[in-house]
Structures are given as structure tokens and as C-alpha cells.
């Protein structure tokens, strides 16, 4: 047998999971895991103290267990003794390096260091301060870590599952400095083999990985390969041809080809492609800038609650999803919090449905009968949402509400929103951690942007009191009741127009096994298998 034949045979036996990242990856440093592309990559390379399962329950990871003090301010974590950092070609280790509590302290202090400039520094704002001015992360010994909070904060454990909180190898960070972004050394199920930015990323199986399933060491895959094709139609074609194993979400360029009118997989792809779906912790909405000090606020009709409510009542969300999204998602007829996080909210008597009579009554009460005297209202939106915005504009126009839909680049839109420069905009909020508090923090007055995520500059003292009360309420059911009250207040004041609660959609090849979905849309590949005997049918 020739050398080339033996090489081909070896390659045939390797299981490589291939996916595309159109948005590109800007860093493999978890300190900068701000967007989905970076988060997905870092999730393969790093671990944190805890992790979320597919039901978003907090589970052990580097920490084998933990305890919480009676006042819920002090967390003590006991670490596993078999978690080792990657051995890599670009940073070889003399002997396998076991993770110690001091490494966790280093990783967390690094996130809070202004010189790091990590966008995840906010996570640890609630951590207390030591006498030397550093945050209260303490390594009691090699396997014991203590974290002390200023005040109790029930979602804290869930926050520690974020990729910002991954554990890094201090020696590698010190050696590479800012270049750690392209020389990552973590403890994850895969280790980086090669990254040519904008072209390809290859991560190979970590033979030292500590997690075991059914007596077999994870991960099952030999490698993960990521490409960076920008054009979504080209990505779809590569997937259909069998050159990619996984595709996430829908794009207008191929939506009608892949799904039927009922939102189900096109029968022509049966046997070649499987579709997985689950509710997504992502609320799509329109936001109103409610700051009376904002430029033009004095003459802005959106400062009137009745006008905001009229827009909320002025279009049919169910029809919108049915015609423009093939029924994918849940109509946003309740509050800001996705139903999966606040089940009681589904039965609540607040929210907005299509009610023409109420629209007309609200406009008349605001001094704009049938829209007379109401100026044209600019609505700023990125290109991928133009169809939905134009639908809404068409629907509310019948009541005399004229929306001018203005297309703007996503980066520019985010900048304008964060600087409070536009009065009406499309936005979305994807949960950072699985707790309803994360959505309500968008409306807490001390969180006014640019210092926090309150992009609407909503202010309601009653809401703020309930929010602060919820932070000190340790009983889950009582805290949920407070969340419900806050959600009700928001809908009454209408600082937003909730459009829909999104859905995670994943498309995988027929030879892919054990792909999980979760409401955070986190890509976890350590349990995924590829059937070596099955040949994926190609188009």
C-alpha cells in the first residue's frame, strides 16, 4: 500500500465536525467572548467552574461541588484534581499542568483588570473587595476557592457558566500577552491546532480531557473545523452538498427552499438533513428612547404612553410570524421575558394583541384622532429585519401612524442605540445567563446606557423598588412573583414593542448523532458523534 493510500485511510477514519461561521471569529480569548461566534469557539477550548446542561440547570465542571453560606453571599468551590491544561505545539508543557484554585483567581482577576478591557468585567461588579483593593476571589488551598459577594444575588451561579468566566493558563497569558487571542490554552474538550483568520480554524481532540460518559473519555469527535464563508446562500449550498455538518438559524436566501409553509423541513431533504428546534432565550423588540432630556424629546410623540401603546396594539404578531418567518418563534403578545423563563407570564392578563378599536381610542386620547397631526416617525433597523419592519409599518399606517423605516448598518445601529441618539429602533436581547433578571436589568434606572444595558432610558421608581427587592429575595417562587409584577409594569408603560420570542433552529447531516439544543443556543460538541459507517447523501 502506498503512503498516500495509508494517509487517505487514516483521514477516512477520523471524525471531523465541520461548520461555518459567517460572522467571523475575532478572538479565541474567553475574556472577549462577547458574541456568538467567539462564544461557540471558546466553548470548545475552555471550561469554567460550572456549566449548564441542555435544560439550563447549573452542573459541576472544574468545580466538583460547592456550598453557599446562609446569607447567600459566600460561595465555596471544591475543584476536581484531574483537570489539566492543554499541551500544545505553540506552548509545550514539561508535564501536564493541573488546574489549581490560584488559576481560577488569576482568570477572574484578569477579567476585572481595566488593562484587559474585557467586555465581561461587569459580571464581577457584585463581588466584594479585599483589603488590598482586589476582588474577593480567594484560593484557600490548591483545590478550594472562595468568592464573596457584596450582596446576595440568586443568579450568580448561572453567571459563572458564561464563557467570560473560563479558566485560562496564567503562564500562557503572561507569555503571549494580547496574542493570547490566537494562542489559547485552556482545559476544554478540544485544543486549537490551526487558525488562519478569515479562512479556517481547526481544533483537535484533547486527549487529556477529564469528563467521561458511559466509561468513555470525551470528546467523541477527533476534530472540529470551522470555515468563514460570508455569503449565506453559499453556506447553504455547501451544507446541502455534505461539505458542512451543521447549520444554525434561517436566512431569507434559503428559508423557502429548506422549509415548507408550515415551518417544517422540506420533504425533499428527508433522510439527508435533520432539523432540531427549541425555544430560544432571545426576545426581539422595538425600543423607544424615553429620556425627556434626549434631543428632540419635547416634540416627540413617542414620549406619550398612549402612542407607544397604540403601536403595540396596531399589528398582528401571529400573522407576522406565519407569513414572514414560516411560523418560527412565539408571538410576543405578553411581556419582555421569554415564556421559558417565566411560565406564569403565559397565563398573565397583560401584553398586546392586535386590537384596532383600542388603537383608534388611544390615538384620539393622545390628541391624534385617526393619526391626524401625528408626524412621520423614523424607525431605525438593520437590513436583515427590513421585511418585518415594513410589514409593521404597513399595518399601522391604516390607523394614521406613519413609520419611516430607515436601513442602517448593524454596527452603526448598535453605536447609535448605545449613545442614545435615535428615538425608535429595532433590537434584541439574548440572555447572558438563564434568569429573568437578565431581561429586567434592561429597564433598571441605574443601568442607563452607556454605563449599562438600559437602552430605552426607562425610569419607573416602582419598577426599581421591585427590582431591588428581587435581588434580596432568595425564595424562587417569591422572586418569580416579583419578576411578574415588573413585567406587567413594563407592558403598561410600553418602553418597548415585543415582536416575538425566537426559536433555536439547527440543521444537521443525517450522520451526526447526539447534537443537543438548548435555549441559550450554546454550541456544545463534546458529546457529538459522527457515524463513520454512514455516508451522507449529497445533492
What are the phi and psi torsion angles at 20 (to 5°)? -110, 145
Alpha-carbon gap, residue 28 to 224, rounded angstroms: 14
Report how far residue 453's alpha carbon sits from residue 451's, in angstroms, rounded to the nearest whole number: 7
pLDDT at residue 3 in the model? 45
Instruction: For the chain, 539 residues long, give each residue's pLDDT as a single digit of tens.
Output: 444 444 444 445 789 999 999 989 999 999 999 899 999 999 999 999 999 999 999 999 999 999 999 999 999 999 999 999 999 888 888 888 999 999 999 999 999 999 999 999 999 999 999 998 899 999 999 999 999 999 999 999 999 999 999 999 999 999 999 999 999 999 999 999 999 999 999 999 999 999 999 999 999 999 999 999 999 999 999 999 999 999 998 888 888 899 988 888 999 998 899 999 999 999 999 999 999 999 888 999 999 999 999 999 999 999 999 999 888 999 999 999 999 998 887 788 899 999 999 999 999 999 999 999 999 999 999 888 899 999 999 999 999 999 999 999 888 998 999 899 999 999 999 999 999 999 999 999 999 988 889 999 999 999 999 999 998 888 889 999 999 999 999 999 999 999 999 999 999 999 999 998 999 999 999 999 998 765 555 44
Cβ(165)–Cβ(111) below 8 Å:
yes
Cα–Cα distance between 372 and 375 in angstroms, integer? 8
Burial of 12 from C-beta contacts in 10 A (0-12 / 13-18 / 19+): exposed
Four-CA torsion 158, 495, 500, 322, nearest 10 degrees:
180
Distant-in-sequence contacts of 266-270, Cβ < 8 A, 24+ apart? 269/240
Q: Report yes or no on whether pTM surpasses 0.75.
A: yes
Query: Cβ neighbours of residue 54 under 8 Å, at least 6 residues apart?
Result: 516, 517, 518
Q: How far apart are CA 13 and CA 8, in angstroms?
A: 9
Instruction: Decide if 329 contacts 340 (C-beta within 8 A).
Output: no
> Phi first, then psi: what are they for 275, rounded to 5°?
-110, 130
Backbone φ, ψ for residue 397 (5° rounding): -65, -30
Q: Label residues 141-173 b or e (16+ Cβ within 10 Å = b).
A: eebebbbbbeebbbbbbbbbbbbbbbbbbbebb
* pLDDT value of position 23: 87
Torsion angle of the four alpha carbons 232, 237, 238, 240, in this order, in degrees rounded to the nearest 10: 130
- The beta strands (E) that lie in 382-489 are given as 403-407, 424-430
pLDDT at site 11: 47
Q: Map out the domains of the chain with their CATH numbers.
A: 12-227+511-530 (3.40.190.10), 280-502 (3.10.105.10)
Q: Give me the pLDDT at residue 345, please.
A: 76
Q: Check residue 451 and give its pLDDT.
A: 80
Amino acid at each position: 500500500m502506498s503512503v498516500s493510500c495509508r494517509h487517505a485511510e487514516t483521514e477516512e477514519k477520523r471524525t471531523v465536525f465541520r461548520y461555518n461561521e459567517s460572522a467571523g471569529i475575532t478572538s479565541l480569548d474567553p475574556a472577549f467572548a462577547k458574541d456568538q461566534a467567539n462564544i461557540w469557539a471558546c466553548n470548545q477550548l475552555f471550561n469554567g467552574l460550572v456549566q449548564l446542561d441542555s435544560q439550563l440547570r447549573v452542573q459541576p465542571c472544574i468545580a466538583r461541588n460547592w456550598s453557599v453560606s446562609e446569607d447567600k453571599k459566600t460561595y465555596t468551590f471544591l475543584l476536581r484534581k484531574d483537570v489539566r491544561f492543554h499541551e500544545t505545539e505553540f506552548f509545550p508543557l514539561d508535564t501536564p499542568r493541573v488546574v489549581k484554585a490560584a488559576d481560577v483567581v488569576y482568570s477572574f482577576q484578569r477579567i476585572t483588570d481595566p488593562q484587559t478591557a474585557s467586555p465581561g468585567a461587569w459580571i464581577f461588579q457584585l463581588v466584594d473587595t479585599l483589603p488590598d483593593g482586589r476582588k474577593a476571589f480567594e484560593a484557600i488551598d490548591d483545590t478550594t476557592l472562595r468568592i464573596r459577594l457584596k450582596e446576595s444575588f440568586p443568579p450568580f451561579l448561572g453567571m459563572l457558566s458564561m464563557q467570560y468566566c473560563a479558566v485560562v493558563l496564567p503562564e500562557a497569558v503572561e507569555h503571549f500577552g494580547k496574542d493570547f487571542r490566537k494562542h489559547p490554552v485552556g482545559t476544554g474538550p478540544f485544543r486549537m491546532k490551526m487558525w488562519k483568520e478569515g479562512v479556517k480554524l481547526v481544533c483537535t481532540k484533547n486527549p487529556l480531557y477529564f469528563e467521561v460518559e458511559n466509561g468513555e473519555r470525551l470528546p467523541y469527535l477527533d476534530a472540529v473545523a470551522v470555515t468563514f464563508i460570508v455569503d449565506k446562500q453559499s453556506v447553504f449550498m455547501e451544507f446541502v452538498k455534505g461539505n458542512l455538518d451543521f447549520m444554525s438559524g434561517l436566512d431569507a436566501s434559503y428559508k423557502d427552499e429548506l422549509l415548507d409553509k408550515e415551518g417544517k423541513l422540506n420533504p425533499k431533504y428527508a433522510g439527508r438533513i435533520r432539523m432540531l428546534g427549541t425555544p430560544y432565550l432571545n426576545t426581539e423588540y422595538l425600543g423607544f428612547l424615553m429620556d425627556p432630556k434626549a434631543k428632540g424629546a419635547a416634540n416627540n410623540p413617542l414620549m406619550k404612553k398612549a402612542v407607544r401603546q397604540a403601536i403595540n396594539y396596531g399589528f398582528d404578531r401571529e400573522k407576522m410570524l406565519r407569513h414572514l418567518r414560516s411560523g418560527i418563534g412565539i408571538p410576543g403578545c405578553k411581556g419582555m421575558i421569554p415564556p421559558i423563563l417565566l411560565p406564569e407570564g403565559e397565563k398573565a392578563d397583560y401584553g398586546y394583541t392586535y386590537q384596532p378599536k383600542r388603537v383608534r381610542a388611544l390615538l384620539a386620547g393622545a390628541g391624534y384622532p385617526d393619526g391626524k397631526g401625528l408626524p412621520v416617525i423614523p424607525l431605525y433597523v438593520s437590513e436583515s429585519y427590513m421585511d418585518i419592519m415594513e410589514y409593521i409599518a404597513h399595518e399601522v399606517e391604516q390607523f394614521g401612524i406613519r413609520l419611516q423605516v430607515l436601513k442602517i448598518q448593524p454596527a452603526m445601529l448598535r453605536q447609535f442605540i448605545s449613545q442614545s441618539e435615535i428615538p425608535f429602533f429595532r433590537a434584541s436581547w439574548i440572555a447572558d445567563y438563564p434568569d429573568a433578571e437578565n431581561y429586567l436589568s434592561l429597564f433598571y434606572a441605574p443601568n442607563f446606557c452607556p454605563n449599562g444595558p438600559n437602552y430605552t432610558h426607562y425610569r419607573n421608581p416602582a419598577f426599581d423598588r421591585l427590582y431591588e427587592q428581587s435581588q434580596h429575595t432568595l425564595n424562587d417562587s417569591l422572586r418569580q412573583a416579583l419578576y411578574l409584577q415588573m413585567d406587567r409594569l413594563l407592558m403598561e408603560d410600553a418602553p418597548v414593542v415585543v415582536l416575538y420570542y425566537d426559536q433555536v433552529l439547527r440543521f444537521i447531516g443525517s450522520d451526526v448523532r447526539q447534537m443537543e439544543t438548548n435555549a441559550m443556543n450554546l454550541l456544545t460538541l463534546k458529546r457529538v458523534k459522527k457515524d463513520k459507517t454512514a455516508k451522507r447523501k449529497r445533492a
